[in-house]
Amino acid sequence: MANGQSFLDKFAEVSAKVGNQVHLRSLRDGFATIMPIFILAGLAALLNNVVFTFLWSADPSSPGLFPNADVLATAQYWGNALTQGALSISAILLCAMVGYSFANNKRFDNPVSCVVVALAVFFIMMPQSVTANLAASSPLYVADEVTTAQVSSAFITDYTGTNGMFTAIIIGLFAPTLFIKVSGIEKLRIKMPEGVPPAVEKSFNVLIPMLLTLGVFGVLSMVLFACFQTDVTALINTFIQTPLRSLTTNPVGLVLIYSLGVFLFTLGIHQSTINGVLVEPILTIVLVEATSVYSAGGIDAVIARPDLWLNMNVINVYALMGGSGCTLALLLATFIWGKWRPSREVAKLGILPAIFNINEPVIYGYPIVFNIPLMVPFVLNTIIGILVGYFATAVGLVNPTCIQVPWTTPIIASGILSTGGDIRAGILQIVLLVIFTLIYLPFMKASETAQRKQFEMASESAEN
């Protein structure tokens, strides 16, 4: 037992170090900061494609309650403005916030300068000319011959939006890393006389380190263009983003990685230690891209993109009912069949937070942690939720999840909203909840038996 406990302690220590690694923690903090923007974009897309079309669509195949194409176009302009303001600059926002979070986590005394460096490098590494599609009305347009043109001094939303988010992460982490290291060289600081305002003094302190950092990345951008006719985003998409996405958006790979993180929760190590830094950022990027596709082309456009079906909302909607391990089902099983009074009391306290997918009271109070009988359904239900949610999407039983909804959204509502108004997703959640409850039942009874015996043994020990 001592050896086993020692192994768990060491495993917990290693996991905690991984979760607290400054670059990974900064990535998690950066995503958390801009998450409301993604939720706003999702809600705007939902209003445009479901609510507004239901009210004012003039399409003969699906007319609205008050058909009016002009009113619909005006209302959708509002939704498109919100979506564009969020998604087309999502990489820029992420780069800035990751850089700022990194500076804060490193306790750097001038974190705003890291934002400046991160954003400047982000644009330095972009190509200086882009290929634009010509409109048919353009005088340069020649059908089947000239349909594109090279445009200089322009940025494309493919790089500033969802497709550039991996680049934003890497630059947001490594540009400030270099800048902070160079800033630590005392000889590169410009000393200002007394009486100079603090803001001016800080800007001069980082003047040379900032010039050196931007210059280094400028040389890198030049080398990539001159020697390889490419840019850093194209390289990252080819050699980093594509392999990582293929791993985490593959059902088998996702189940293996995510279930490991959930298993750690049964040992008292929060699942976000692994999943929050290895899985969730990548799946969130896929979800944001799905939202962008949905906003532009509706749910049919998302259905036509199988690479977007397995995203963060598949986990949130189908595998985290009541929180990690689908513990809302455990509470229901306890209310219906539970006999052990302490468990029922914890269930009463935990049911309201569980409705909003908060289950720390259950994890540590029921408890789930080191409760061997409950470890099995805790992990198993997560696996079932991911696989059923994905394959139900793949065979067309439900629409793909494509709308970012707050993770605290209760079940049924989360299923319907995240799939663009598909009621079938809410029904699937109810079916899964029943299955999860039945799976928890025998293990819950075994847990009650074990807890009762432990209580009796402790009472006998106290009497002796």
Q: Determine the Cα–Cα distance for residues 2 and 113; give it in Å rounded to an integer.
A: 50
pLDDT in tens, 377-429: 999 999 999 999 999 999 999 999 999 888 889 999 999 999 999 999 999 99
Omega within 30 of 0 (cis) for the link into 306? no
Cβ(410)–Cβ(355) under 8 Å? yes
Share of the chain above pLDDT 90, in %: 51
Closest to 374 measured CA to CA, from 324, 336, 314, 410: 324
Omega within 30 of 0 (cis) for the link into 281? no
Q: Determine the Cα–Cα distance for residues 191 and 49; give it in Å rounded to an integer.
A: 58
User: Average pLDDT of 209-232?
Assistant: 95
Cβ(179)–Cβ(117) under 8 Å? yes
Average pLDDT score, the chain: 87
Higher pLDDT, 331 or 10: 331
Place of tokens 């299955």: 435
For residue 367, count other CB atoms closer than 10 A to its CB: 17
Q: Determine the Cα–Cα distance for residues 400 and 306; give it in Å rounded to an integer.
A: 9
User: Average pLDDT of 35-48?
Assistant: 90
Place of tokens 């696996």: 383
Residues ≥6 apart with Cβ < 8 Å to 190: 204, 205, 207, 208
Closest to 334 measured CA to CA, from 436, 411, 203: 436
Degrees to nearest 5, angle at CA 126 with 41 and 224: 145
Token couple for 114: 């890291």
**Overall size of the chain counted in residues:** 464
The long-range contacts involving 454-462, CB below 8 angstroms and separated by at least 24 positions, are none
pLDDT at position 211 is 95
pLDDT confidence band for 266 (50 / 70 / 90) = confident
DSSP 318-339: HT-TTSGGGHHHHHHHHHHH--
Q: Determine the Cα–Cα distance for residues 418 and 404; give it in Å rounded to an integer.
A: 6
DSSP state of 146: B
What are the residues facing 129 on neighbouring strands?
Answer: 152
Q: Determine the Cα–Cα distance for residues 68 and 318; give it in Å rounded to an integer.
A: 37
pLDDT in tens, 51-63: 999 899 888 877 8
pLDDT at position 156 is 84
Please tell me the least confidently modeled range out of 49-63, 216-230, 285-299: 49-63
pLDDT at position 1 is 46
pLDDT confidence band for 10 (50 / 70 / 90) = low
Cβ(190)–Cβ(170) under 8 Å? no
Tell me the CA end-to-end span of the chain in Å, nearest whole number.
25
CA dihedral 360, 362, 368, 369 (to 10 degrees): 40
pLDDT in tens, 317-374: 999 999 989 999 999 999 999 888 888 898 898 899 999 998 888 888 888 888 888 9
Classify residue 57 as left (phi > 0), alpha (psi -120 to 50) or beta: beta
Counts for the chain of helices (H) and strands (E), in that order:
22, 2
Largest CA distance in the chain: 98
